[in-house]
Chain A
Amino acid sequence: MRLLRSIAIIATAWLLAAPAFAQGTISNLPRNQTLIVENPEGTIKNAGWFNIWAINAGGQSTGLHQLAMDTLWYIDPERGIDGVWENSLAAEKPQYNADFTEMTVKLRKGIYWSDGVEFSADDVVYTVETHLKTNGLRWSAPIQVNVAGVSAPDSSTVVFMLKKPNSRFHALFTVRWNAMWIMPKHVFEKAGDPLKFPFNPPVSLGAYTLHSFDPNGGWFIWQLRDDWQRTTVAKFGTPGPKYVAYIDPGPPDKRVIAQLNHQLDIIHDTSPEGMFTLAKQAKLSHGWFKGFPFAHPDPTLAAVIFNDELPLFKNRDVRWALALLIDMKQVSMASYRGAATISAIGVPPTGTYPDYYHVPLESWLENFELDTGKRKIKPYDPTVGKQIADMLRPSMGDQIPTDPAEIAKAFGRGWWRPDPQAAQELLEKAGFKKSGNQWMTPDGKPFTVRIAVEGEARPVMTRAGTMIAQEWRQFGIDASTVVAQGTLNDRRASGDFDAMISWSVETWGGHPDLSFFLDSWHSQFVAPPGQPQSARNWQRWSNPELDKIIEQTRKIDFDDPKGVELGKDYLKLVVQEMPTIPLMAYNVFTVMDETYWTGYPSAETAPYTDPVPNWGNTRYMMVKLKPRQ
């Protein structure tokens, strides 16, 4: 009995003391000097591996590429601290010769590796030469395809000789999420085979260095270097957090719980419902937008991607008919519970793109005419974004903006007006016939569309696909979704799909140049049916007019204003041809808790970078974050 009583007393004492114990999730580190961030890679199988150049061997967004790596340039997906272009290890922009077969780079001086060795042109040359002579490193292939030779005339100049003209070669060394990082020559030249060297502990070129990590891959802690002034971010100020922990907090529900308990300062992404819970219950938590729709629209365009090599989708009238059967308001509500930022054109409505493309094309879209075979219609409805805001206002109240400019920024602008009559006319023009309630193809078979979605791996996109399939089915098309969880990458590459909800458009976000994705849409890269298709033209669409636009873009400088005009030509072409149906930006519900830190990026007051913490660009967040007083 005495034993039982003792156990009861100890248990009670522990339970009373436990809340403090359970909250303190990091041992021996001051919480008010530590930023805790979700790493969406989850648990890293091979945690002790920091050789980021060996493909897929360890983690990347464990803080490794955000805090410890550096390269020549950065382009911010939002507005940037000092403009979108940032000369990082380079002292100036890349200098090309007239035919883009040579690129010269001037390097910054006074930058040091964390072990005290000065960074120099030799590191850049070593990095490139190692990739030239080693197959299977992460950037071996693009280097081997492009580079004929590399040299360092002096310690702060590097000259790249290219195998063929490439006006966008610098993109390989320009961070948009990541880029080719520079290797420490003095470490790797003694390491033997670069494919088998774990690089543990990593020697860092960024402002932080590895403090400790979980051998089971659950967490990684980085510490501010004592000599952080000798790194490239120093020009923007002192990094706020002394320690940054990147952790695997588990499924979305647990991330919400962890932030409510102030154990997770930045959630990378959660469900719309999780975001709404945090908005209601956590006073100091906020998203990119302070109010609805909260999420950060990533420079990625979610779309209905047809397999345009299939006879069914070769005819643009069919693709247009399917677009006119979609009610975007319903798709927005089903997928993001209304928190979507829609786009009718082939670039995401995020970063600087609305200014470069969406706004200038608005009047063209309003006047755009589509020939249904029986009449001409103007399918664009410029008020769809506003209609979504109006639908949400009764339930969300003053969370929903009323200013038209704010509405456009948060919810997007217009989209295609649902028009089943026009869709019917377009299908009839294409030779389709309706038999009873079922549409039949020109060769007399039922019109069947299977939309591949990723199920629980990407629930928001799955819900969008389900809603679209339902809308097509109501019209008499045999449409349904097929779950390709875990297999979508393979099916996408092999062309084993009718249509899918995915993305083939990713942009710089901050810079208007579209070559980041558009160059790969040239017909020279379209694989024959059955052969693997390389990223990103998953729709396998080729068009001579598009080829001309791409070829003209290749011949002009990255910053040439003609690039935006060519971009608009591309956008007009894909509106006319509808090779994919653009839906919305890939909105990421990144939630930031201000209990310990202030100065996070936000759409309204501080759009200095994308807050989504697995981006390499988020290193700029560290210099803006300050401890809450």
Chain B
Amino acid sequence: MRAYSLYLFRRLIQFVLVVFIGMNIAFAVTHSTPIDPVEQTISAATSFGSTSPDAIAKMRQSLRELYGLQGGPWQQYAAFWRRVVVGDFGPSLSAFPTPVSELISRALPWTAGLLTVSTLLSWTIGNLLGGLAGYYRESSLLRFAGILTMGLHPIPYYIVAFVLLIVFGFVWPVLPISGGSEMNLAQGFDVAFVGSVLVHSILPVASLVLVGLGGWFMGMRSLVSNIVSEDYVLYAELAGVDRRRILTSYVMRNALVPQVTGLAMSLGGIFNGAIITEQVFGYPGIGSLLVGAVHAGDYSLVLGVTAVSIVAVSAAVLLIDLLYPLLDPRVKVR
């Protein structure tokens, strides 16, 4: 138990260090971007209307004061950490004065919902099919499934997304191709809204599952292919243990360990958003928020989204590291 406590402590230190380094890199990158949020705002505000140059000069000065961009880099760095430690990323510069946390909390449930469902679906189907294909290698149906999933896997995601969009949005228009739910429907946990959200998520989820399936399938099939030649599997077969039991209890259970690691990493990555999916299907979420923030030079918002992502991925890795010694007795705590 003492060894585990030490291990826990070391991993926690590592976690804090990773988050600290990640946040610093994010700060450095966002603050070295050539995009100036004030110039973006001025351009948006004056690109159509008639505003005299002397008024624009005054506007530039007012906005710098309003956005708190007056200080030097070190002052801004100190202010950034002061806010981060209390979980406040300040106001968004491109949606001033709305707090970054409010924008993120509005977008995050959509991304998290979409990516959790699609990740779990592709993981489950991919592993199931991969496990079966690795064990029942003589099955022509499973061989066909393998060709199909592996054939889809290398196709660029946006091609698959656009094909689905054209097929089900135009050629045979049976599914909605835009938005997270029907227009003019109040958001709430009622049948109409939840049903609409489910229908609107079919194409985005399908596109992610179709492309994501192949990776899990191939990983699981090769793991199972190795395990079936292990001594304990051979003995079980010679001892007349039921093949289905061998597959589930002897083969797939052991093969699942690295796949669970992959799943945890993927679930952590959910908070990165699915930028292309959100753009193609007009789906609300954190990916679109991030792209908009980058274009607007809104460092507060970029830092907020990045921070959520850094913490989520690091926490997922930490969780796996902490759970491994408990779940798999072969993993020893030094």
Q: In whole angstroms, what is the CA distance A45 to B107 when docked?
A: 9
A46 at the interface (CB under 8 A from B): yes
- Check if A257 sits within 8 Å of B169, measured CB to CB: yes
Contact partners of A491 in chain B: CB under 8 A: 34
| Contact A142 B35, beta carbon cutoff 8 Å | no
| B residues 24-75 touching A (CB-CB < 8 Å) | 34-36, 39-60, 62-63, 65-66
A250 touching B40, Cβ below 8 Å: no
Given contacts A19-B174, A46-B98, A58-B95, contact A144 B58 (CB under 8 A): yes
| Chain B residues whose CB sits within 8 angstroms of the CB of A260 once the complex forms | 170
Asked if residues A18 and B174 are in contact (CB atoms below 8 Å), the reply is yes
Q: Are A195 and B92 in contact, CB atoms less than 8 angstroms apart?
A: no
A253 nearest CB neighbor, chain B only: B162
Q: Smallest CB-CB separation from A532: which chain B residue? A: B60
The smallest beta-carbon distance between A14 and chain B, in angstroms, is: 8
Question: Which of A49, A245, A250 has the largest count of B CB atoms less than 10 A from its CB?
Answer: A250
Give Cα distance in the complex from A364 to B205, angstroms: 63
Closest-CB distance, A167 to chain B (whole angstroms) = 13
Judged by a CB distance under 8 angstroms, whether A486 is at the interface is yes
Q: Confirm or deny: B125 has a beta carbon within 8 angstroms of a beta carbon on chain A.
A: no
Which of A26-34, A92-100, A308-316, A597-605 lies at the interface with chain B?
A: A26-34
Question: B50, B60, B106, B174: which contacts A172 (Cβ < 8 A)?
Answer: B50
Q: What residues on A are CB-neighbors of B103 within 8 Å?
A: 45-46
**Which of A133-141, A227-235, A588-596 contacts the other chain?**
A133-141
Q: How far is the CA of A172 from the CA of B185 in the complex (A)?
A: 38
**If A54-B96, A136-B63, A218-B284 touch, does A257 touch B180 (CB 8 Å cutoff)?**
no
Give the docked Cα–Cα distance between A212 and B181 (Å): 14
Beyond A179-B49, A218-B282, A250-B282, is A56–B288 a contact (Cβ under 8 Å)? no
* Number of residue pairs A-B, CB distance < 8 angstroms: 212
**Interface hits, A163-211 → B, CB 8 Å:** 168, 171-172, 174, 176-179, 195-196, 211
Chain B nearest Cβ from A10, distance in angstroms = 14
- Report whether A490 and B35 are in contact in the complex, using a CB–CB cutoff of 8 Å: yes
Does A428 have its Cβ within 8 Å of any Cβ on chain B? no
Please tell me if the beta carbons of A178 and B95 are within 8 angstroms of each other in the complex: no
| Most chain B CB within a 10 A radius of its CB, from A19, A249, A257 | A257
Determine if B88 is an interface residue (Cβ-Cβ < 8 Å): no
Query: CB of B165 within 8 A of chain A?
Result: yes
CB of B98 within 8 A of CB of A178, answer no
Q: Which chain A residues lie closer than 8 Å to B54 at the CB level?
A: 145, 525, 534
Q: Which of B53, B98, B199 contacts A520 (CB 8 A)?
A: B53
**Which residues of A201-256 are within 8 A (CB) of B?**
211-212, 214-219, 221, 245, 247-251, 253-254
| Residue of A22, A196, A248, A249 touching B173 (CB-CB under 8 A) | A22
B98 touches A489 (CB 8 A): no
Most buried by B among A18, A43, A487, A519: A43
Of chain B, the residue at the smallest CB distance from A168 is: B50
Q: Does B128 sit at the interface, judged by CB under 8 A?
A: no
Q: Which residues of A contact B177 (CB under 8 A)?
A: 250, 254, 257-258
Q: Are A22 and B295 in contact (CB under 8 A)?
A: no
Interface centre among A22, A45, A57, by most B CB within 10 Å?
A45
Contact among A43, A257, A525 for B284, CB-based, below 8 A: A43
Contact A27 B183 (CB under 8 A): yes
B179 within 8 A of A: yes
Task: Say yes or no for A15: interface residue by CB 8 A criterion.
Answer: yes
Interface residue from A26, A43, A145, A146 paired with B282 (Cβ < 8 Å): A43
Binary per-residue interface labels of chain B (290-302) against chain A in the complex, 1 for a CB within 8 Å, 0 otherwise: 0010110100000
Instruction: Check B178–A258 contact: CB distance below 8 A.
Output: yes
Q: Which residues of chain B are near A24, meaning CB under 8 Å? A: 182
Residues from chain A with Cβ under 8 Å of B176 in the complex: 22, 25
Residue of A nearest to B186 (CB): A212
In the complex, B280 has a CB within 8 A of chain A = yes
A residues 52-81 near B (Cβ < 8 Å) are 54-58
- Cβ-based interface call for B94 (8 A): yes
Chain B 210-232 interface residues, beta-carbon cutoff 8 Å to A? none
**Chain A residues within an 8 Å CB radius of B115:** none
CB distance from B47 to the nearest CB of A (A): 7
A142: chain B residues at CB < 8 Å are 51-52, 55
**Shortest beta-carbon distance from A619 to chain B in Å:** 15
**11 A-B pairs with C-beta separation under 8 A:** A18-B175, A21-B199, A22-B176, A27-B192, A27-B196, A45-B103, A54-B96, A55-B59, A146-B55, A179-B49, A519-B52
A-B CB proximity, top 4 nearest: A534-B53, A46-B95, A216-B284, A177-B48
